[in-house]
A = this chain, B = another copy of it.
Amino acid sequence: MVPGQLKLSTTSRMEMIDITDEVEHIVQSESVSSGVIQLFNPHTTAGLTINEGADPDVCRDILKGLAHIVPRDLGYRHAEGNSAAHIMTLLTGGALTVLIENGKILLGTWQKIFFCEFDGPRARTVRWKIVADSR
C-alpha cells in the first residue's frame, strides 16, 4: 500500500505525544482487517515508542529518566548543541511494527503509541505503511 504521513506539532523541548488514536484511525480508514502497520520516524532528534498511557506521570518520569541518563553537556562537538537528543533517538529507536487484527491495532491493556520529541518544539512527521495479509 502507498505510505502516508501523520503531521505533528510539538510544543516543548522534550515531550511524549500519544498518537494511538491517529494510528487506529489510519488502520480503519484503510479498511485493513489483518496485517501490520510500520511506523517510521524520519527525524534524528525524535523517536517512537510504546509505553503506558493511563497515568501521564509515566511519560513525565520517562523523560526525567532520559534527561538523567543522557547528560545535556558532555563536551560534545556537534555545533547545534543537541547531541543529547541524538543519543536519546538511538536509545529510543525510530521505527515500530504494530500488528493489526480484526481491523484494529493490537496493543496491550496499558499500551499507547508515543511520538517522542527530544529537541522541540518543532513541526514533525511520522511516516507509515500498512502491509496487509495476502488474504
User: Which residues of A does B touch, CB under 8 Å?
Assistant: 1-3, 34, 36, 38, 40-44, 49-52, 55, 57-58, 60-62, 64-66, 68-71, 74-80, 83-84, 86-87, 89-99, 101, 106-111, 127, 129, 131, 133-134
Instruction: Tell me the interface secondary structure of chain A in the complex.
Output: mixed
Question: Are A62's CB and B87's CB within 8 A?
Answer: yes
Whole-angstrom distance from the CB of A30 to the nearest CB of chain B? 14
The answer to whether B83 and A61 have CB atoms under 8 Å apart is yes
Closest chain B CB from A24 CB (angstroms): 16
30 contacts between A and B (CB under 8 A): A36-B38, A36-B129, A38-B99, A40-B97, A42-B109, A44-B50, A44-B51, A44-B52, A44-B108, A49-B90, A51-B90, A57-B76, A57-B77, A57-B78, A57-B79, A58-B83, A58-B86, A60-B78, A62-B83, A64-B74, A64-B76, A65-B76, A90-B91, A91-B91, A93-B93, A97-B97, A99-B127, A131-B131, A131-B133, A134-B134
Residues of B within 8 A of A74 (CB): 61, 64-65, 68
